[in-house]
């Protein structure tokens, strides 16, 4: 059977709550940042459920030996925040995965052509092929930025099946593009919105995630 992109929208009241706070135009930047941190936390919690590798072992409780599972320390874990706005989800993700390495990548969108261009790439020449990658990207709109980042990762040995994306608001154009280019991908999002306006913004969306996070 052909692979298909999977997009999960967890029906969690905390995700719904913090999404509502983030969407509200009256939310000030300081509270918007808190909402994004919380969304980063809860979307990461959901996204790593069947992704984080564990090892079976045994511990001795004060009373008896007991089977136990630990997170496998030998599998490299990586978080990739896509600058700028992806930084807003990083703290929440990093709180749950404190041993993950963070590899930054920065892209900026041309407001007229809507094309993304890369201005920063801290990726190594090659990743270990076992590496699990969690990408933080709050807005999946046209799909230009995320497909560029996926290409940079796969060129360096990352298997798309090992990647999870957490995103706050997604839109059909980005999901369609990802489905064609990387059908094995899995996304955890707070919402799938209707579409984009003529400036490439998600509608209803939450506005410019970078500007609202950094108060610019």
Shortest CA distance to 153 belongs to which of 174, 176, 127? 127
- Which residues 6+ apart lie within 8 Å of 144 measured at CB? 109, 114, 115, 116
Residue 92 found at the interface with ligand URA (CB under 6 A) = no
Please report how the helices 172-181 and 144-154 are oriented relative to each other, as an axis angle in degrees rounded to 10: 20
Does 85 engage in binding with ligand URA (CB under 6 A)? yes
Q: For the CB of residue 212, give the shortest distance to ligand URA in the complex, in Å.
A: 8
- The interface mask with ligand URA, positions 47-66, x = CB under 6 A, is --------------------
202 binds ligand URA (CB under 6 A): yes
Cα separation of 52 and 74, whole Å? 11
Candidate ranges 16-24, 47-55, 92-100, 197-205; the one touching ligand URA (CB under 6 A): 197-205
Question: How far is the C-alpha of 208 from the C-alpha of 216, rounded, in Å?
Answer: 10
Q: Which is nearer to ligand URA, 85 or 100 (CB)?
A: 85
Chain residues binding ligand URA by CB under 6 A are 85, 139, 141, 201-202, 205, 208-210
């Amino acid at each position: 059977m052909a692979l298909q992109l999977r997009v999960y929208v967890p029906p969690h009241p905390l995700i719904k709550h913090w999404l509502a706070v983030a969407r509200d135009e009256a939310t000030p930047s300081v509270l918007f940042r808190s909402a994004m941190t919380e969304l980063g936390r809860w979307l990461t919690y959901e996204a790593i459920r069947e992704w984080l590798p564990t090892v079976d072992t045994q511990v001795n409780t004060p009373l008896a030996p007991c089977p136990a599972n630990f997170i496998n320390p030998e599998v490299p874990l990586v978080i990739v925040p896509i600058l700028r706005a992806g930084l807003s989800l990083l703290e929440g993700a990093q709180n749950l995965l404190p041993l993950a390495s963070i590899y930054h990548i920065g892209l900026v969108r041309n407001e007229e052509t809507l094309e993304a261009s890369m201005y920063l790439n801290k990726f190594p020449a090659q990743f270990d092929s076992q590496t699990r990658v969690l990408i933080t990207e709050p807005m999946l709109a046209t799909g230009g930025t995320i497909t560029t980042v996926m290409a940079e990762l796969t060129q360096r040995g990352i298997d798309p099946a090992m990647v999870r994306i957490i995103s706050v608001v997604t839109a059909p154009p980005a999901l369609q593009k990802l489905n064609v280019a990387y059908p094995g991908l899995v996304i955890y999002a707070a919402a799938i919105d209707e579409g984009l306006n003529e400036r490439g913004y998600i509608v209803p969306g939450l506005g410019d995630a970078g500007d609202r996070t950094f108060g610019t």
